[in-house]
Amino acid sequence: MISHIDHLVLTVRSLEETCAFYERVLKFTRIDTPGRPTSLHFGTCKINLHEIGHTFEPKSAAPTPGSADFCLITRESIESILHHLQSENVAVELGPVERNGANGPMTSIYFRDPEHNLIEVSQYSV
Protein backbone atom coordinates (compact mmCIF):
# COMPACT_ATOMS: atom_id res chain seq x y z
CA MET A 1 0.00 0.00 0.00
CA ILE A 2 2.78 2.51 0.89
CA SER A 3 5.73 2.81 -1.49
CA HIS A 4 8.19 5.20 0.18
CA ILE A 5 8.77 8.25 2.38
CA ASP A 6 8.36 11.62 0.63
CA HIS A 7 9.54 13.92 3.41
CA LEU A 8 9.96 14.29 7.13
CA VAL A 9 9.80 17.33 9.38
CA LEU A 10 12.43 18.51 11.83
CA THR A 11 11.67 21.07 14.51
CA VAL A 12 14.70 23.32 14.99
CA ARG A 13 15.85 26.17 17.19
CA SER A 14 17.84 27.84 14.43
CA LEU A 15 16.70 27.60 10.83
CA GLU A 16 19.89 29.27 9.57
CA GLU A 17 22.30 27.07 11.53
CA THR A 18 20.44 23.90 10.55
CA CYS A 19 20.31 24.82 6.85
CA ALA A 20 23.98 25.77 6.81
CA PHE A 21 24.92 22.40 8.32
CA TYR A 22 22.87 20.28 5.91
CA GLU A 23 23.98 22.32 2.90
CA ARG A 24 27.66 22.17 3.87
CA VAL A 25 27.95 18.69 5.34
CA LEU A 26 25.40 16.67 3.34
CA LYS A 27 25.17 18.84 0.20
CA PHE A 28 21.39 19.26 0.51
CA THR A 29 19.70 22.08 -1.41
CA ARG A 30 17.75 24.69 0.56
CA ILE A 31 14.41 25.84 -0.87
CA ASP A 32 12.54 28.83 0.61
CA THR A 33 8.96 29.27 -0.59
CA PRO A 34 6.76 32.05 0.90
CA GLY A 35 4.04 30.66 3.15
CA ARG A 36 5.61 27.18 3.27
CA PRO A 37 8.26 25.57 5.45
CA THR A 38 11.88 25.94 4.39
CA SER A 39 12.94 22.60 2.97
CA LEU A 40 16.18 20.75 2.36
CA HIS A 41 16.15 18.62 -0.80
CA PHE A 42 18.28 15.57 -1.62
CA GLY A 43 17.64 12.91 -4.25
CA THR A 44 13.87 12.46 -4.50
CA CYS A 45 13.26 13.39 -0.84
CA LYS A 46 13.13 16.44 1.36
CA ILE A 47 13.20 17.51 4.98
CA ASN A 48 10.83 20.33 5.96
CA LEU A 49 12.05 22.56 8.78
CA HIS A 50 9.80 24.06 11.41
CA GLU A 51 11.53 26.67 13.54
CA ILE A 52 10.32 26.87 17.15
CA GLY A 53 7.72 29.65 17.30
CA HIS A 54 7.17 29.51 13.52
CA THR A 55 5.67 26.07 12.98
CA PHE A 56 3.10 25.08 10.38
CA GLU A 57 -0.16 23.23 10.92
CA PRO A 58 -0.74 20.42 11.28
CA LYS A 59 2.30 19.37 13.28
CA SER A 60 3.29 16.64 15.72
CA ALA A 61 1.76 16.72 19.17
CA ALA A 62 5.00 17.72 20.92
CA PRO A 63 7.52 19.10 18.40
CA THR A 64 10.94 19.16 20.02
CA PRO A 65 14.33 20.10 18.58
CA GLY A 66 16.81 17.25 18.69
CA SER A 67 14.30 14.40 18.93
CA ALA A 68 14.81 12.91 15.45
CA ASP A 69 16.80 9.80 14.58
CA PHE A 70 16.91 8.87 10.89
CA CYS A 71 18.97 7.00 8.33
CA LEU A 72 20.16 8.33 4.96
CA ILE A 73 21.52 6.05 2.23
CA THR A 74 24.63 6.91 0.23
CA ARG A 75 26.08 5.41 -2.93
CA GLU A 76 29.52 6.73 -1.94
CA SER A 77 31.85 4.66 0.18
CA ILE A 78 31.58 5.03 3.93
CA GLU A 79 35.31 5.87 3.92
CA SER A 80 34.59 8.81 1.60
CA ILE A 81 31.79 10.02 3.88
CA LEU A 82 34.05 9.69 6.94
CA HIS A 83 36.76 11.70 5.23
CA HIS A 84 34.26 14.42 4.28
CA LEU A 85 32.85 14.58 7.84
CA GLN A 86 36.39 14.92 9.21
CA SER A 87 37.10 17.76 6.76
CA GLU A 88 33.94 19.51 8.00
CA ASN A 89 34.90 18.96 11.68
CA VAL A 90 31.82 16.80 12.31
CA ALA A 91 32.36 14.29 15.12
CA VAL A 92 31.39 10.72 14.28
CA GLU A 93 29.59 9.24 17.27
CA LEU A 94 29.68 5.60 16.15
CA GLY A 95 30.92 3.61 13.21
CA PRO A 96 31.53 2.28 10.81
CA VAL A 97 29.30 -0.53 12.11
CA GLU A 98 27.28 -3.24 10.40
CA ARG A 99 23.52 -2.75 10.45
CA ASN A 100 20.49 -4.27 8.80
CA GLY A 101 18.40 -1.79 6.79
CA ALA A 102 15.09 -2.08 4.97
CA ASN A 103 16.90 -3.68 2.00
CA GLY A 104 19.47 -5.82 3.80
CA PRO A 105 22.96 -5.53 5.27
CA MET A 106 24.63 -2.14 5.31
CA THR A 107 27.53 -0.27 6.89
CA SER A 108 26.61 2.80 8.94
CA ILE A 109 28.13 5.81 10.64
CA TYR A 110 26.35 8.05 13.14
CA PHE A 111 26.74 11.75 13.88
CA ARG A 112 24.60 14.66 15.09
CA ASP A 113 23.35 17.84 13.48
CA PRO A 114 23.43 21.22 15.31
CA GLU A 115 20.07 20.41 16.96
CA HIS A 116 21.51 17.07 18.22
CA ASN A 117 19.32 14.95 15.93
CA LEU A 118 20.99 11.60 15.31
CA ILE A 119 21.88 11.06 11.65
CA GLU A 120 22.84 7.64 10.36
CA VAL A 121 24.47 7.52 6.92
CA SER A 122 24.62 4.05 5.45
CA GLN A 123 25.86 2.23 2.38
CA TYR A 124 24.24 -1.05 1.41
CA SER A 125 26.53 -4.02 0.98
CA VAL A 126 26.97 -5.00 -2.64
Please report whether residue 111 resides in a domain.
Answer: yes
The DSSP annotation for 21-34 comes to HHHHHH--EEE--T
Question: How many domains is the chain built from?
Answer: 1
57, 93, 98, 120: the catalytic one is 120
Please report whether residue 2 resides in a domain.
Answer: no
The per-residue pLDDT string of the chain (126 residues; one tens digit each, 9 = 90 and over) reads: 877 889 999 999 999 999 999 999 999 999 999 999 999 999 999 999 999 988 888 888 888 999 999 999 999 999 999 999 999 999 999 999 999 999 999 999 999 999 999 999 999 997
Please report whether residue 45 resides in a domain.
Answer: yes
Range of the domain at 98: 7-124
For residue 23, indicate whether it is catalytic: no
pLDDT of the residue at 61: 86
CATH (domain of 55): 3.10.180.10
Please report whether residue 18 resides in a domain.
Answer: yes
Spatial distance between the Cα atoms of 108 and 123, rounded to a whole number of angstroms: 7
Please report whether residue 1 resides in a domain.
Answer: no
